[in-house]
Amino acid sequence: MKDDEYQKLHDYPKTVNRNKIYCAPQGAQKIIKGHATFDPDKEFRVIQVRKGHIRKNDLSYILMYKNIMIRIDLIGATHQGIPTPHVHIFDEKHNDGLDVIPLFDIENYNQTSDIIESLATFLKYNNFELRVDSIINPNRN
């Protein structure tokens, strides 16, 4: 994706399509649909991935607009010698996701692996409007 297109899409204020957001249970993934707040035709998907082939407790977040824009791996495999947590940004500047960036290089990003806090952080980083009580962990009563 061209750098300017990535930045424009990333910067859009976004809204989740539902009032309640359910986290994926361990071993599964969950798709959260949303759209640009001022242009409902610009549809985004956030994928919360809580499964892995080797590590069963992997935790990653993906933002998509037609294609993957950004993936943040909080728990998972080392890529290019950079352990998790790290980021893949799918723009020209970052070699369409091949370059790996340590998460601590992203300013003001809460690196928690708590399932609710990490989802809230990812949504906020990607400019989704978020009510504090909107995220529900399926593993808690």
Q: CA angle 50-51-53, nearest 5°?
A: 160
pTM for this prediction: 0.92
Domain containing 16 equals: 3-135
- Look at residue 141 and tell me if it is in a domain: no
Token output for 117: 């806090």
Counting the structural domains of the chain, the total is 1
Asked, for residue 110, whether it belongs to a domain, the answer is: yes
Q: Is residue 98 in a domain?
A: yes
Please write the tens of the pLDDT for every residue from 40-59: 999 999 999 998 666 668 99
In whole angstroms, what is the distance from residue 5 CA to residue 62 CA?
17
Structural domain includes residue 140: no
Residue 113 in any domain: the answer is yes
Per residue of the chain (141 residues), give pLDDT as tens.
999 999 999 999 999 999 899 999 989 999 999 999 999 999 999 999 998 666 668 999 999 999 999 999 999 989 889 999 999 999 999 999 999 999 999 988 999 989 999 999 999 999 999 876 678 776 654
Whether 129 is covered by a domain: the verdict is yes
Q: Using CA atoms, how far apart are residues 8 and 38, in angstroms rounded to an integer?
A: 13
pLDDT, residue 16, reads 95
